[in-house]
Amino acid sequence: MKLPNIRYASPASIEDACDLLSADEDSKIIAGGQSLLPVMAMRLAQPSVVVDLGNVPGLTDLEEAGDYIRFGPMVTHAAIVSSPAVAKHLPMMVAAGRHIAHPQIRNRGTLGGALAHGDAAGEWPLVLLALNGMVEVQSVRGRRTIDADDLFVGPYMTTIAADEIITDVWIPSHSDGWGYGEFARRAGDYGLANVAVVMSTEGSQISNARVAVGAAVGKIQRVPEAEDVLNGSELSPERAEVASEAGAKSLSYISDIHGSAEYRQGLVQELIRRTIVEAGART
């Protein structure tokens, strides 16, 4: 499974990288390569030019920026999972990041790469959506910001244009309740169902609930039917059950050799319930 015949460029700046993408519509960014290279090895993608961001300076920042944590796109999964700032302000990312594949993949894979890849079974897209983060992208046409709610539109499909490059990822610091869970048979497997939940409580009344699902469904998405059951109501195990049942019913599921739609629905329902309980316990 040798890689197809590509040309390689390693620009020194984001601007140069944007120019390269704009000049050839079949060119593609390579960040960590952990998603792109397998796809190329299987010849499911055959870009004409691979544009490596590895020599562009300043893309590996990880800093507290006001109410946010700002990440450069080339920050690796390993760096995120071991960052004290992330542990303090975005503990969900540490929990989620440990599910990503294996340490060897995490040493190379990047946040920007994972978000741009938009894999419905991906951990960072799910986390970004749950935590209401956003990305900034740049192209020859300028810069713009995309909120997580507007980013993921289908399997491996985002609203980032082919010639746009993620330059920054902003995630609001989170000190409220959160929960993250995956059902996977072996360490590092793509999840059969992934769920992320955040919520606040005043007393035991829930607000700001965001319930996000991945892996079992075709695209990373929030589950408004579950959120509506939670917001404004009292936190309780029964409420978690009602929310998870309503939420699970509202989704449409993928079906493949690892699990039928019916099986995945059962998993999602149980996982939403558990993750709501987990999030509630942390408020």
Partner 1 sequence: MTSSSPSNRVEIDVEVNGRRRTVAVDARDTLADHLRNDQKLTGIKLGCEHGVCGACTILMDGAAVRSCLTLAAQGDGRSIRTVEDLSDGAALSPLQEAFKRHHALQCGFCTAGFLISATELLESNPSPTRDEVIEALSGNLCRCTGYQTIVEAVLDAAGQIGN
Partner 2 sequence: MDNPHYFSPPITRNVIGKRVPRTEDARLLTGRGKYLNDINADGQLHACFVRSPAAHAQITGIDAAAASEMPGVHLVWTAADIEEYCAGIEAQYTAEGCEAMTMPLLAKDVVRYVGEPVVLVVAESRAVAEDACDLVGLELEALEVVLDPRKSIQGGPVANGERPDNVGIRGRATFGDVDEAFSNAEHVVSALYHPGRVAAAPMETRGCLADYEWTEDRLRLWVSTQMPHYVKMCLSLFLGFDESRSEVISPDTGGGFGQKAHVFPEEMLMPLASKHLKTPVKWVEDRRENLLAGSHAHEQFVTIQYAANAEGRITGVRTHALVDGGAYHMPPQTMAVECWATAAVTPTGIYDIPAAEYIYEGAVTNKCPMGAFRGVGYTAGTLARESLMDDLARKMKMSPFEIRRQNVVKEFPWTNPQGVVYEEGSFLEVINTLEEMVDYPAFLVRQEEARKNGKYLGLGISVFVESSGESTGMMQAHGATDVFHDTATVKMDSTGSVTITSGLNSQGQGHQTTLAQVAADVLGISFESISVDAGTSTKGAYGSGTIGSRAAVIAGGCVNRAAYAIREKLVAVAANMLESSEEDIVLEEGFASVIGARESRVSIADVAMAVYWDSSKWPAGFEPGLEFTKAWDTSRPMFSNGGHALIVELDPVTGFVKVEKVYSVEDCGVIINPTIVEGQIRGGVIQGIGMGLFEQLVYDNAGNLSTTSFLDYQTPTMDVSPPFEIRHIETPSVMTASGVKGMGESGLISAPAAVLNAVNDALSPFGSVLYELPATPEKIVRATKGIVDLQGPQNWEELWERAGVPALDRGPMDAE
Which x/- pattern, by CB under 8 A, does the window 235-274 give for partner 2? ---------------------xxxxx--x--xx--x----
Q: How far apart are CA 132 and CA 197, in angstroms?
A: 11
**Pair 239, 229: CB distance under 8 Å:** yes
Decide: is 44 part of the binding site for partner 2 (CB under 8 A): no
* Residue count of the chain: 283
Q: How far apart are CA 115 and CA 130, in angstroms?
A: 13
**Residue nearer to partner 2 on the CB measure, 40 or 86:** 40
Count of residues that bind partner 2 according to CB under 8 A: 24
**Residue nearer to partner 2 on the CB measure, 3 or 153:** 3
**Residue nearer to partner 1 on the CB measure, 33 or 172:** 33
Distance of closest approach, residue 82 Cβ to partner 1, in angstroms: 10
Closest to 233 measured CA to CA, from 209, 269, 211? 209
Q: How far apart are CA 206 and CA 275, in angstroms?
A: 14
- Could you give the 3-state DSSP secondary structure of residue 87? helix
> Which one of the spans 9-17, 157-165, 192-200, 250-258 is the region binding partner 1 (CB under 8 A)?
9-17
Residues 182-221 that bind partner 1 (CB under 8 A): 186-188
Decide: is 8 part of the binding site for partner 2 (CB under 8 A): no
Q: How far apart are CA 9 and CA 16, in angstroms?
A: 10
Closest to 9 measured CA to CA, from 50, 70, 41? 50
Which x/- pattern, by CB under 8 A, does the window 158-187 give for partner 1? ----------------------------xx
What are the tokens at 263?
Answer: 């099986």
Residues that bind partner 2 (CB under 8 A): 1-5, 42-43, 183, 185-190, 192, 256-260, 263, 266-267, 270
